[in-house]
Amino acid sequence: MSVILEFTIENDEFTLGEVLSGSPPMHIDLERIVPTGNSVVPFLWVTGDEFEAFERTVTAHEFVDEILALDKMEDSTLYRVRWHGRHNDLIQGITEADGTILEGHADDRWYFRLRFPDHDALSRFHNFCTDLGITIHIVRTYTETDRTESVKQFGLSQEQREALVVGLRRGYFDTPSQASLDELADELGISQQATSNRIRRGTKQVLSEALLSSAMDLE
C-alpha cells in the first residue's frame, strides 16, 4: 500500500535548495525530475519579477552547468537546470527509494509531498537522509486509505492552508476586504509575493477539488 510523506527542509540541506536559494527571492514550484544517467535534471516553474538576476545567480553557482528557460506564462517561467557535483543528496534519495514527487515548492524553505510504494520504501528514504545527515521536518505521513476528507483537506499544503486560514480570520476575502496582502504577509512572516502565491494556489486547489470533483461525480 502506498504511503504519502509531507515534510519541509531548509535550503542548505540539499543541492537543489542551495542552487536556487540565492538572491533575488523567487517562488519556485518543482514540476518534475528527469533521471539522466548518474544525475537528475529538475524542471521548475519560477514566479517573480527579476528573472535575469535569478538566472545570473543560478548560473554562477559552482554546481550548475546550465539553466535554460523553456516556457513563459504571465509572471512565471519554466526552467530546466543541469548541474554537476554532489548528486548523492535528497533528490537522489527520493529516486533510489522509488519515491514520486507529488508536490515540491519553495519560498523561504522547501515543502515536499512524496508518494512511496510502501512503508519499506519510505523507511529506505528516511534511512538515506539519516545516514547523510540530511534534516527533514516531517509534517505528516498517511496512506491513501487513511485519506478521508478530514485528512485530505482539499490537498492543500501546510503553507497554503495557513495562508487561507489567516486570510479568512482577518477578513481578506470580505467585500470590502478587511485586510491587505501586506498585513497578511506580516502576520505570516513572509513576503507579499509569497503570500499572494500561497493564497492564489490554495484557492485554485480548493476550487478544483470542490467543483471539478463534484462535476466528475455527476458525469
Percent of the chain topping pLDDT 90: 31
7: Cβ contacts below 8 Å, ≥ 6 apart: 111, 112, 136, 137, 138, 139
The answer to whether residue 210 scores a pLDDT higher than 90 is no
The answer to whether residue 199 scores a pLDDT higher than 90 is yes
Give me 23's grid cell: 538572491
The CA angle 162-167-173, to the nearest 5 degrees, is 145
φ/ψ of 6, rounded to 5, equals: -115, 135
The answer to whether residue 34 scores a pLDDT higher than 80 is no
CB 171 within 8 A of CB 177: yes
Q: What is the 3-state secondary structure (H, E, C) of 32-63?
A: EEEEECCEEEEEEEEECCCHHHHHHHHHCCCC
Q: Is 69 helix (H, G, I), strand (E, B) or coil?
A: strand
Q: How high is the pLDDT of residue 215?
A: 45
- Sign, Cα dihedral of 24, 25, 29, 30: positive
- Sign, Cα dihedral of 24, 25, 31, 37: positive
Q: How high is the pLDDT of residue 150?
A: 42
Give me 121's grid cell: 520504501
| Total-model pTM | 0.66
Q: How many residues does this entry show for the chain?
A: 219
CB 124 within 8 A of CB 55: no
Q: How high is the pLDDT of residue 214?
A: 46
Give me 91's grid cell: 533528490
The answer to whether residue 219 scores a pLDDT higher than 70 is no
Distance CA 91, CA 130 (A): 14
Q: 78-112 as b/e, with b when 16 or more CB fall inside 10 Å?
A: bbebebeeeeebbbbbbeebebebeebbbbeebbb
Give me 122's grid cell: 519510505
Q: Give the helix ranges, DSSP H, for the chain.
A: 15-20, 51-59, 90-96, 119-132, 149-152, 158-170, 181-188, 192-207, 213-218
pLDDT digits (tens, 9 = 90+) for 37-85: 666 788 999 988 889 999 999 998 888 888 999 998 878 899 998 877 6
181: Cβ contacts below 8 Å, ≥ 6 apart: 172, 192, 195, 196
